[in-house]
Amino acid sequence: MQMSSRITKLKRNSLCALIYYVLLVISGFLLTGSYLRHYGSEAYGLSVSVAQFLSLIALCDMGVDAVISAALYRALAEGDLRAVSRIMAFSRRFFGIIGLLLLVYVAALTLFYPSVTEGTFDRTYTVTLILAMSISQFEQFYLGMPNQILLNADQRSYVPLAVSGVTLVVYTAVSAVLMALGGSIQTVKLAGSLIYLARPAFLSVYVRKHYALDRNEKASGDDVPQKLSSVVQHISYTVSSNTDVAVLTLCSSIDSVSVYSVYTMITGGVRSLIISATTGIQALFGNLIANGEYKELNRVYSLYEWAVHTATVFFYTVTGILIVPFVTVYTKGINDAEYRNPGFAALITAAFAVMMLRDSGNFLIRAAGHFRQTRNASITEALLNLGISVLLVRRLGLIGVAAGTLSAALFFLFYQAWYFSKDILKRPAAIFLKQICLDAAQCGCMLLATSGIRVSEKGYMDWFFSAITVGTICVAVSVAFQLLFFRHQTAMIKDAVNRHRKA
């Protein structure tokens, strides 16, 4: 595949992802506020907690989605449709089993989870919420996952993203109407689950039309190597991703889950927007590795790493400055929980920034299929997150779980730099350390330059004008740093823009 074709697909994927994640952020802001005002912090916190526990079913896929993707990169690069058909047969069989396990897991949740919230919500209320929300998880694993993995591996992420965008808009509109009409939270969640059933149905039709897969090919695990090696890394990552809400639910309070969710709605939204700009990059890395183009891989990854670090430092520094005033305005009039928490805001913003940098490197590990080589580090990351969070949550509450997340993400980020220095990229770790030092310097300069600005908490418009001022100053600092310390990367971007104009 020509590099120009790969870049075209990357641009298409990134544009669709950007549109989708903008819609997702807007939907999150609109619906979260509506949930809080219609049902209160505890009911919303319960729905977040249930969603988090339902997502733990992802443990059962044991990371096989990642090794299926890695296997598909090579089969697609070689144009081997028989191999693709066998891999897809394995994928459908495997995720069918996951769907059945989900039914068992949901049954277990309905039996045991209500005891956690006993005294706050009655059993019927909690059980009906679990059942309403579980349908969307079932459609994801039992119906939609195999086709989505294929499309992502073939750099066609824009297809599932476009479908997801349409269903998201419909879901947001229907949810808003149901809440305005006085519908229960269970009714709203059930309606959303039913709307999302359209997504796997469309993907199935699309794949049948565009891929000449042989449905008679037998499923073979031999086409999907390193299945066992991916298990530990996947479990570790899933544990790390779900630790905070689980620990808060079991060791703190439901309303703290609501506070956590409001802040992470913002920090997670920023993370999604940055990721959207490079959607499909893992498939590009996988294609380059499958074709043995390691020199080009190093060049592309270096540019990608710089872009992600630059965006992360800018957006998360601005977020750190603005997040507490925004949450204060956003939750005005909601008095059943304390939403103003500057200490937690600072730590969770830093944690999500580091997780963003960590994820950018993890895309390369997954594309290369290096699951066995990095599994011990993944175990350590999960244990750090869980251990520190449990140790500190009773004393520090939200700050304790944020500290656990930040510590674990920092560990794996620096581990990646060491691993890339000896494998895959085989480049000096000093390149990464220089980038990190300059990231810290940029952040410090932005904070210093904006330290005299008092961000308004009177209302959205006043906050917005303060945000414009903060953002403009931080842009100026970022541009100055790029021109002073990253001239090679900025020159590459300039050349690429000039070539695009001439084309």
220 lies in some domain: no
Structure tokens at 488: 């090679």
365, 503: one domain: yes
Q: Which residue in this structure is represented by tokens 């090919």?
A: 217
234, 311: one domain: yes
The per-residue pLDDT for range 51-74, each reduced to its tens digit, is: 878 876 655 555 567 677 777 877
Q: What is the amino acid identity at position 378?
A: S
What is the length of the chain?
503
Angle of helix 429-449 relative to helix 398-422, nearest 10 degrees, comes to 140
Neighbours of 284 (CB within 10 A): 25
185, 240: one domain: no
242 lies in some domain: yes
32 lies in some domain: yes
In angstroms, the first-to-last Cα distance of the chain is 20
Q: What is the amino acid identity at position 442?
A: Q
Dihedral angle of Cα 257, 258, 260, 261, to the nearest 10 degrees: 110
Given 214, 244, 260, the domain boundary residue is 214
Domain boundaries, position 293 = 225-503
Helix, strand, coil share of the chain (percent; to 5): 85, 0, 15
DSSP 113: G
CA 336 to chain centre: 29
65, 143: one domain: yes
Given 176, 193, 214, the domain boundary residue is 214
Q: pLDDT tens track of the chain, all 503 residues?
A: 455 566 677 777 778 888 888 898 889 888 988 888 888 888 888 888 888 788 766 555 555 676 777 778 778 877 888 888 888 888 888 888 777 777 888 898 899 888 877 777 888 999 999 898 888 777 766 667 888 888 888 888 888 889 989 999 999 999 999 999 999 999 999 998 889 888 888 888 898 888 888 777 776 655 555 555 455 666 666 666 777 888 888 888 778 888 998 999 899 889 888 887 776 677 778 778 877 888 888 888 888 899 999 999 999 999 999 999 999 999 988 887 888 999 999 999 999 999 999 988 888 887 777 777 887 888 888 889 999 999 999 889 999 999 999 999 999 999 999 998 888 888 888 989 999 999 999 999 999 999 999 999 989 999 999 999 999 999 999 999 999 998 888 877 777 666 655 55
8, 100: one domain: yes
Given 180, 214, 248, the domain boundary residue is 214
118, 37: one domain: yes
Q: How many domains, the chain?
A: 2
CA angle (241, 97, 63) in 5-degree steps: 35
Residues 6+ apart with CB under 8 A from 127: 110, 114
Calpha distance 85→215 (Å, rounded): 7
219 lies in some domain: no
For the question of whether the overall pTM of this predicted structure is more than 0.85, the answer is no
Helical residues (DSSP H) of 332-459, grouped into ranges: 342-368, 371-396, 398-422, 429-449
Structure tokens at 119: 């005294």
85 lies in some domain: yes
70, 7: one domain: yes
Residues 6+ apart with CB under 8 A from 173: none
255, 309: one domain: yes
304, 234: one domain: yes
256 lies in some domain: yes
460, 389: one domain: yes
157, 254: one domain: no
- In this structure, are residues 5 and 154 in contact, taking their beta carbons and an 8 Å threshold? no
300, 322: one domain: yes
Structure tokens at 355: 């997780």
